[in-house]
Amino acid sequence: MNAQTHSSKEIVRQARRRRTFAVISHPDAGKSTLTEALALHARVIGQAGAVHGKAGRRSTVSDWMKMEQDRGISISSAALQFEYRDCVINLIDTPGHADFSEDTYRVLSAVDCTVMLVDAAKGLEAQTMKLFEVCRHRNLPIITVINKWDRPGLDALALMDEIVDRTGMVPTPLTWPVGQSGDFRGVLDRASGAYTKFSRTDGGATIAGEEALDPASAAELEGEAWTTAQDESELLDMEGQNHDEARFLAGETTPVMFASAVLNFGVHKLLDTLVDIAPPAEARLDVAGQRRPVDSPFSGFVFKVQAGMDSHHRDRLAYVRVCSGVFERGMVVTHAQSGKPFATKYAQQVFGRDRESVDEAFPGDVVGLVNASALRVGDSLYLDEKVEYPPIPTFSPEHFMVIRAKDSSKYKQFRRGIDQLDHEGVVQVLRSDLRGDQAPVLGAVGPMQFEVAEDRMVNEFNAPCSLERLGFSLARRTVPDAVPTLARERSVEVLSRSDGELLALFSDRWRLAGVEREHPDLVLEPLVVS
């Protein structure tokens, strides 16, 4: 089963059908709502769920953790795959909260395009800009969606100016709103000049009605609102803000659409746009800087490891982005980091937390490998021709807590839980001989990661625990020779991370500056994300 059973021509054709993208934004901009609306318009779910976690509401497809449903936020990425027109859509929803930006960063290593969701009332917010910079660094094309146009918000032209000023990209709207924010009637299609009028459905739970009208009919129906939309579209024409595919793929421009995800307005157009202009799966760079053609033998890399998705599935799922060739269930591949064979007997396609066995997958697809205890985030897998993809860097933790088991009789469960959370990258686990295995230190980018860790220790591993905050706020990579000197410094502690790195923790940047001044030859390097 290790021979490639599809022709190169067929693999290339399948790769060109794939659209693999992530949705990024500031918290509460509507990412999970948009994810469900896209699935609704592709007719793979019958009704969109509410994401606010209120009593009596339906649960969402993508927000499946209890904490997500209780708080109305996304704290774990979710992979959804469905077909639309002649394409296969691989949509990877991402955590909205800034405390989980490391998980989002991992997801962005696995996609070919991003949808940047902007709240019409708030514009480009801090977390959006942080993730935009990651997209730019990775040369990912960006499609911008101005969401919540059904609510009062900023002026449409002012939002275009903000995109230019803050991102440097030229916005090239594909649609333009008819009706100001808070009075969303429909959109002007700037390419055809036609009008798409929207009509509401009950609670936005089903596909919104759309009526196509010619410009004359639109003018008669909407009057001044239509005239204003036409005038503003002509102004964009004069400024040269029209879509150019080459400039979009080069990251110079961003196509813009207006929508209301909660009402399902403008969502159908976004799906069509993804099919029409988003890049397909293409050759990806390996660690040597060489591009591996999509029709090469199978290869892929792990961008996420997740357990505890469902109490009925006590297993560990490794999300693998297929980069080249064909994945076939049951094939034996090589784990690049260890050189050992890895059997893929249990492979699944994931739709939120629902799963079904998958027999094959093509470049751009995401496959869930079950019970993949040997795999870690950033690992590569290949068939026949060796390849290793660039590792996914780890963020520098800024918050630290000691974790201890409350019940000594459940120490085995405690150890298993800590190892699992470390393996998944939920938190970074730091240890030292002084503290021992009974009191490891958890490092996190944001404090909410500790809440997730504690919740899973209690409910998934049956290991009640206590957490105690430590007075450190930054970490630097160091070397064994520096440990004796650092051990004598106040407000400094050296711990070992599971990947073998030694991290020196400092109470604040002034303490770090003092140590560097007194010991200029010590190795104290920032943990840089690249």
Give the pLDDT confidence of 355-373 residue by residue, as tens digits: 677 889 999 999 988 877 7
Closest CA to 365 of 315, 327, 310, 408: 327
- Quote the domain boundaries for residue 198: 21-76+95-102+112-277
Q: Which of 277, 296, 328 is the last residue of a domain?
A: 277
Candidate from 108-112, 279-283, 350-354 with smallest mean pLDDT: 350-354
| Domain-located, residue 13 | no
Secondary structure (DSSP) of 308-363: -SBTTB-SEEEEEEEEES-EETT-EEEETTTTEEEE-SSEEEEETTEEEE-SEE-T
Q: pLDDT, tens digit, for every residue of 4-19?
A: 678 999 999 999 999 9
Judged against a pLDDT cut of 60, whether residue 72 lies above it is answered with: no
**Percent of the chain at pLDDT exceeding 90:** 59
Q: Which two tokens stand for residue 513?
A: 């500056």
Strand order in the sheet with 366-370: 340-343, 332-335, 380-382, 299-307, 316-324, 366-370, 347-351, 354-357
Helix axes 215-222, 224-238, angle to 10 degrees: 130
pLDDT bucket at 64, cuts 50 / 70 / 90? very low
Q: Are residues 350 and 418 in the same domain?
A: no
Higher pLDDT, 349 or 508: 508
Report the Cα 54 to chain-centroid distance in Å.
Answer: 25
Nearest to 95 by CA among 159, 44, 51: 51
User: CA 526 to CA 530: how far, in whole Å?
Assistant: 12
- Range name among 93-97, 140-144, 411-415 with the lowest pLDDT average: 93-97
Q: What is the end-to-end Cα distance of the chain in Å, rounded?
A: 37
Residue 352 annotated as part of some ligand binding site: no
User: Does 7 reside within a domain?
Assistant: no
What pLDDT is stored for residue 312 in this prediction? 54
More confident of the two residues 93 and 163: 163
Strands 366-370 and 347-351: antiparallel
Whether the pLDDT of residue 206 is over 80: the answer is no
Average pLDDT, stretch 34-56? 58
Mean pLDDT of 229-250: 96
pLDDT score, position 463: 94
pLDDT of residue 99: 57
Q: Which of 277, 296, 318 is the last residue of a domain?
A: 277
The predicted pLDDT at position 28 comes to 80
Structural tokens at position 360: 């094959």
Q: CA-to-CA distance for 142 and 108, rounded, in angstroms?
A: 12
Contact 164, 184 (CB under 8 A): no
What would the DSSP string read from start to end of 411-449? HHHHHHHHHHHHHHTSSEEEE-TTT-TTSPEEEESSTHH
pLDDT tens digits, one per residue of 119-146: 999 999 888 888 888 888 888 999 999 9
Give the domain CATH number at 419: 3.30.70.3280
Inside any domain, residue 90:
no
> Do 503 and 494 touch, CB atoms closer than 8 A?
yes
**What pLDDT, in 10s, does the model give residues 494-513?**
999 988 899 999 999 999 99
Say if residue 36 is in the same domain as residue 155: yes
What is the pLDDT, as a whole number, of residue 269?
93
- Cα separation, 125 vs 171, whole angstroms: 17
Q: Same domain, yes or no, for 125 and 208?
A: yes
What pLDDT score does 74 carry? 41
Please check whether residue 245 lies inside any domain of the structure: yes
Tell me, what's the pLDDT at 75? Answer: 33
The mean pLDDT of 463-472, rounded to a whole number, is 95
Q: How confident is the model over 141-157, as a mean pLDDT?
A: 96
Which amino acid belongs to residue 96?
G
How confident is residue 354, by pLDDT bands cut at 50, 70 and 90? Answer: low
Between the CA of residue 421 and those of 182, 449, 455, what are the distances in Å? Answer: 44, 10, 11
Residues 364 and 480 in one domain: no
Is 447 annotated in some ligand binding site?
no
Q: Tell me which of 378 and 72 has the higher pLDDT.
A: 378
Listed in sequence order, the residues at least 6 apart from 406 whose beta carbon sits closer than 8 Å to its beta carbon are 464, 465, 466
> Is 95 within any annotated ligand binding site?
yes
Question: For residue 204, how many other CB atoms are within 10 A of its CB?
Answer: 23
Residue whose entry in the numeric block shows the structure tokens 């690049």:
336
Task: Inform me whether the pLDDT recorded for 65 exceeds 60.
Answer: no
Is 378 annotated to bind a ligand? Reply is no
Choice between 528 and 331, residue whose per-residue pLDDT is larger: 331
Task: Say yes or no to pLDDT of 205 above 80.
Answer: no
- List all residues 6 or more positions away from 158 whose beta carbon is below 8 Å from its beta carbon: none
Within 8 A by CB and 6+ apart from 461, the residues are 413, 414, 416, 417, 420
- pLDDT category, 57, cuts 50, 70, 90? very low
Instruction: Identify which has the larger pLDDT, 272 or 79.
Output: 272
Q: Are residues 293 and 273 in the same domain?
A: no
User: Does 97 carry a binding-site annotation?
Assistant: yes
Cβ contacts of 162-165, under 8 Å, gap ≥ 24? 162/123, 162/124, 163/124, 163/254, 163/256
Higher pLDDT, 298 or 392: 298
Query: Pick the residue with more confidence: 37 or 143?
Result: 143
Q: For residues 78-92, give the mean pLDDT.
A: 85
One domain, residues 411 and 477: yes
CB count within 10 Å of CB 433 equals 7
pLDDT of 529 reads 53
Strongest mean pLDDT among 22-36, 61-75, 403-417: 403-417
Do 425 and 513 have their domain in common? yes
Is 50 exceeded by the pLDDT of residue 55?
Answer: no
Bridge partners of residue 299, in order along the sequence? 324, 382
For range 140-155, the mean pLDDT: 96
How is residue 144 annotated by DSSP?
E
With respect to residue 87, please indicate whether it lies within any of the assigned structural domains.
no
The per-residue pLDDT for 341 is 94
497: CB partners within 8 A, 6+ apart: 428, 429, 430, 443, 503
Tell whether 139 and 259 lie within a shared domain: yes
Packed helices 267-277 and 31-41: angle between N→C axes, nearest 10 degrees: 80
With residue 508 as reference, give the H or E element that holds it. none
Q: State yes or no: pLDDT of 432 exceeds 80.
A: yes
Report whether pLDDT(413) > 50.
yes
How many C-beta atoms surround the C-beta of residue 83 within 10 A?
12
Same domain, 329 and 404: no
Distance CA 105, CA 24 (A): 10
CATH code of the domain in which 370 resides? 3.40.50.300
* Co-location of 456 and 344 in the same domain: no
Residues 500 and 369 occupy one common structural domain: no
- Long-range pairs of 86-89 with CB within 8 A, sequence gap ≥ 24: 86/17, 86/275, 87/17, 87/18, 87/19, 87/274, 87/275, 88/17, 88/18, 88/19, 88/362, 88/364, 88/365, 89/19, 89/38, 89/42, 89/271, 89/274
Q: How many domains does the chain have?
A: 3
pLDDT (0 to 100) of residue 371: 76
**Same domain for 405 and 353:** no
Nearest to 60 by CA among 84, 98, 30, 20: 30
15 occurs within a structural domain: no
Q: Taking a C-beta distance cutoff of 8 angstroms, is the pair 228, 182 a contact?
A: no
Burial class for 237, CB neighbours closer than 10 Å (0-12, 13-18, 19+)? exposed
Mark which of 277, 312, 340 sits at the end of a domain: 277
| Arithmetic mean of pLDDT, 146-155 | 96
In a domain, 486, yes or no: yes
Q: Is residue 11 part of a domain?
A: no
206 near 213, Cβ under 8 Å? no
